[in-house]
Amino acid sequence: MQPSGPTHTRARPHDAATASAPLAPVTDLAWDADRARALGAEVVALWAELLERLPAMPVAGRASVADVRAAVVRAVPEEPLAPEELVAALRTIALEHATYTGHPGFMAYITGAGTVPGAAADLIAAVLNQNVGAWRLAPAATEIELHLGRWFASRLGLPSTAGGYVTSGGAMAAFIGLKAARDARAGWRIRELGTRGGPPLTLYASSQAHDVNTRAADMLGLGREAVRVVPCDGELRMRVDALRACVARDVRNGYQPVAVVATAGTVSTGAIDPLDAIADVCAEHRLWMHVDGAYGGAAALTDALRPRFRGIERADSVAFDPHKWLYTPHSGGVIVVRDMQTLADAFSMEPSYVYEDKELTGRGVDLYGLGPQFSRGFQALKIWMSLLAHGWSAYERRIAHDVALARRLHDRVVASPVLEPVGPPPTLSIACFRYVPRELRDRRGEAQAEDYLNRLNARLMTELQLGGRVFPSNAVIDGRFALRACIVNFRTEAADIDALVDQAVATGEALHRTERASLGTA
Ligand SMILES: *Cc1c(COP(=O)(O)O)cnc(C)c1O
């Protein structure tokens, strides 16, 4: 591209005078080691300050959109900010308008606390700025990422052909796993011809499966309705008899079933589908078994909890999220497949400008040919460095502790006269409950009372979040709005669980006092 505009002279390639004219360096962006040291020191000081102050800070702010915007958004400056201004801008972002997933009271959604070594690793990964799409551009990074993939696969009990790599998260891991499934099981050249090359393909997932799986079917051109919704049992696990019936009906009607999405740790309650029995159905019908372990997959890596996931070792692909229950900073999920060749089959491409004689160079695998991304960052380093810094037994202990904390929450809920569990007791580290005023205990199930309880508990969740000490989220189970605590946070302890219970009771009572007029009588 040629520069244009009044201050530039147009380059003329054959003009000897222009070619030899001095071209002054443009060094604005090339900060030296001293400037890196100075900015780095400020950033590290801010990081340490945040860690020190975190327990006493509110989990989240209460500022409105307008306030947040006014505080953090500004016109892009023409000239650099002064160093103090730059640091002040970072302080505002870090200390005033963040929601702290690593705060001891944060128990919402399924969002890991963020390891300290992982944050340091992210800095170094950015410093190196490698493109982990090609081995030649990132030799150590590629080998670490592939090693991690193999290690996760082996802990899940998959064979030596298995492996995987780091993705942006569970949603992308679902897309990749189901892309491999589609291409391996369609039976025609679907990458060339698309879905018009054969009968309509179908997938199967339980009513509790995460929506990202349905969206993956949409992105794969199969359509959301290609995902058949299989009903669950009372424990919110996929009913295998219903799965069989769905598959048989589709086969009768001319559809071509390709894959089952089994969930290992549902997002609402942490339920684990009967993986072994689902693997039997997959074997009978030659279906690809994809396990959505975005949440529970990390627990399946531990010796103590692996027995609950029996059958996961029979999966063709497993999605799981280090940024959830391995606590590493956002973002980083993992896709593991039974046979790495299936990823090459689903994603290979041969760009003309990426020539290489691997025999001559002795270089390794290029990850761009195994997944949907071309350029890719070194997201594996924060996971790798966290494992190195903590050692695996620390994870075994902490993951088990999270499960024990969810159990403690459940027990306290059961013991309370004004709280009740919603859904089955915790299988993993999620507990769901709601506040039920004494006078409504006997009216549970009545439409009017249930309606009121849903409104009351929705308001209760919001009030607790705004309160700043604890931050639960919600689930809706059989039409009942529940407060949901998911413990994937190594700073949460029994005192935080107790604070959640005590505040839910106190705030629930206060809300009921002001809201009960809206209840009416049956
Ligand atoms: C969180 C979650 C996802 C989505 O993963 P992201 O990392 O948020 O993209 C998918 N499935 C389940 C069961 C989850 O818990």
Supply the CATH number for residue 414's domain: 3.90.1150.170
Structure tokens at 297: 């997959």
Report the distance separating Cα 509 and Cα 435, nearest Å.
9
Cα of 98 vs centre of ligand 1, distance in Å, is 22
CA neighbours within 13 Å on the CB side: how many for 96? 14
User: Burial, 479: exposed, middle or buried (Cβ in 10 Å; 0-12, 13-18, 19+)?
Assistant: exposed
Answer yes or no: do 291 and 377 share one domain. Answer: yes
**Residue 246 in domain:** yes
Asked whether the predicted pLDDT for residue 380 surpasses 90, the reply is yes
pLDDT of residue 350: 80
pLDDT of residue 84: 96
**62-66 — which CB contacts under 8 Å span 24+ positions?**
62/466, 62/468, 63/96, 63/97
With cut-offs at 50, 70 and 90, classify the pLDDT of residue 8: very low
Answer yes or no: do 348 and 429 share one domain. Answer: no
**Residue 448 in domain:** yes
Indicate if ligand 1 lies below 6 Å from the C-beta of 273: no
Q: Which domain holds residue 429?
A: 394-519
Q: Please, what is the Cα angle at 110 between 413 and 377, to 5 degrees?
A: 165
Of 343, 293, 337, 287, residue with least CA distance to 316 = 337
Of 255, 250, 252, residue with least CA distance to 199 = 255
Q: What is the mean pLDDT of the chain?
A: 94
Q: What is the pLDDT of residues 181-208, one digit of tens each?
A: 999 999 999 999 999 999 999 999 999 9
Question: Which atom number of ligand 1 is nearest to the Cα of residue 323?
Answer: 7
Where is average pLDDT lowest: 130-139, 354-363, 484-493?
A: 354-363
Return phi, psi of residue 513, to 5°: -60, -40
Q: What is the pLDDT of residues 115-137, one digit of tens each?
A: 999 999 999 999 999 999 999 99
Q: Which percentage of the chain shows pLDDT scores above 90? A: 91
With cut-offs at 50, 70 and 90, classify the pLDDT of residue 407: very high
Ligand 1 atom 6 nearest Cα: 170
Indicate if ligand 1 lies below 6 Å from the C-beta of 428: no
333-337 and 163-167 strand pairing? antiparallel
Of 195, 416, 204, 371, residue with least CA distance to 291 = 204
pLDDT of residue 15: 57
**Residue 143 in domain:** yes
**Residue 116 in domain:** no
Cα of 368 vs centre of ligand 1, distance in Å, is 23
pLDDT of residue 362: 75
Q: For residue 262, give Cα distances in angstroms to 81, 170, 314, 321.
A: 51, 14, 12, 16
Q: How far is CA 150 from the centre of its chain?
A: 20
User: What would the mean pLDDT of 148-176 be, rounded to a whole number?
Assistant: 97
Answer yes or no: do 399 and 384 share one domain. Answer: no
Indicate if ligand 1 lies below 6 Å from the C-beta of 500: no
Cα of 160 vs centre of ligand 1, distance in Å, is 26
Nearest-10 crossing angle of helices 240-252, 275-285: 20
Q: Give me the number of domains the chain comprises.
A: 3
With cut-offs at 50, 70 and 90, classify the pLDDT of residue 81: very high
* Torsion (CA) 10, 16, 20, 23 in degrees, nearest 10: 0
User: What would the mean pLDDT of 486-510 be, rounded to a whole number?
Assistant: 98
Ligand 1 atom 4 nearest Cα: 170
Cβ neighbours around 391 below 10 Å, total: 9
**Residue 28 in domain:** no
Indicate if ligand 1 lies below 6 Å from the C-beta of 210: yes
Pocket test for ligand 1, best of 101, 111, 292 (most atoms within 8 A of CB): 292
Where is average pLDDT lowest: 2-16, 85-99, 132-146, 166-180?
A: 2-16
The CATH number of residue 317's host domain is: 3.40.640.10
Ligand 1 atom 8 nearest Cα: 170
- DSSP state, 312? G
Indicate if ligand 1 lies below 6 Å from the C-beta of 173: no
User: Burial, 282: exposed, middle or buried (Cβ in 10 Å; 0-12, 13-18, 19+)?
Assistant: buried
Last residue of a domain, one of 390, 422, 456: 390
Indicate if ligand 1 lies below 6 Å from the C-beta of 212: yes
Answer yes or no: do 266 and 340 share one domain. Answer: yes
Asked whether the predicted pLDDT for residue 4 surpasses 70, the reply is no
Indicate if ligand 1 lies below 6 Å from the C-beta of 333: yes
Answer yes or no: do 258 and 295 share one domain. Answer: yes
pLDDT of residue 522: 46
Cβ neighbours around 442 below 10 Å, total: 9
Question: Which atom number of ligand 1 is nearest to the Cα of residue 174?
Answer: 10
**Residue 15 in domain:** no
Asked whether the predicted pLDDT for residue 521 surpasses 70, the reply is no
317-320 and 333-337 strand pairing? antiparallel
| Residues paired with 203 in a beta bridge | 227, 259
Question: Which atom number of ligand 1 is nearest to the Cα of residue 210?
Answer: 11
Instruction: State whether the Cα torsion 111-113-115-120 is positive or negative.
Output: positive
User: What would the mean pLDDT of 149-167 be, rounded to a whole number?
Assistant: 97
User: What would the mean pLDDT of 256-280 be, rounded to a whole number?
Assistant: 98
Indicate if ligand 1 lies below 6 Å from the C-beta of 169: yes
Answer yes or no: do 400 and 378 share one domain. Answer: no
Cα of 81 vs centre of ligand 1, distance in Å, is 39
User: What would the mean pLDDT of 273-287 be, rounded to a whole number?
Assistant: 98
Answer yes or no: do 238 and 219 share one domain. Answer: yes
Asked whether the predicted pLDDT for residue 358 surpasses 80, the reply is no
Answer yes or no: do 174 and 316 share one domain. Answer: yes
Cα of 23 vs centre of ligand 1, distance in Å, is 52
Asked whether the predicted pLDDT for residue 212 surpasses 70, the reply is yes
Asked whether the predicted pLDDT for residue 302 surpasses 90, the reply is yes
Answer yes or no: do 267 and 172 share one domain. Answer: yes
User: What would the mean pLDDT of 146-160 be, rounded to a whole number?
Assistant: 97
Report the distance separating Cα 500 and Cα 472, nearest Å.
8
pLDDT of residue 16: 58
Answer yes or no: do 503 and 417 share one domain. Answer: yes
Q: Which percentage of the chain shows pLDDT scores above 70? A: 94
Answer yes or no: do 176 and 317 share one domain. Answer: yes
Asked whether the predicted pLDDT for residue 436 surpasses 60, the reply is yes
Answer yes or no: do 220 and 289 share one domain. Answer: yes
Last residue of a domain, one of 356, 390, 424: 390
pLDDT of residue 1: 39
Cα of 183 vs centre of ligand 1, distance in Å, is 23
Pocket test for ligand 1, best of 101, 110, 237 (most atoms within 8 A of CB): 110
Asked whether the predicted pLDDT for residue 88 surpasses 70, the reply is yes
Indicate if ligand 1 lies below 6 Å from the C-beta of 274: no
Cα of 459 vs centre of ligand 1, distance in Å, is 25
Last residue of a domain, one of 390, 424, 446: 390
Q: What is the pLDDT of residues 441-478, one digit of tens each?
A: 999 999 999 999 999 999 999 999 999 999 999 999 99
Q: Please, what is the Cα angle at 365 between 189 and 142, to 5 degrees?
A: 125
Cα of 214 vs centre of ligand 1, distance in Å, is 12
Q: What is the pLDDT of residues 311-338, one digit of tens each?
A: 999 999 999 999 999 999 999 999 999 9
Cα of 293 vs centre of ligand 1, distance in Å, is 8
pLDDT of residue 14: 57
Ligand 1 atom 5 nearest Cα: 170
**Residue 453 in domain:** yes
User: What would the mean pLDDT of 426-431 be, rounded to a whole number?
Assistant: 97
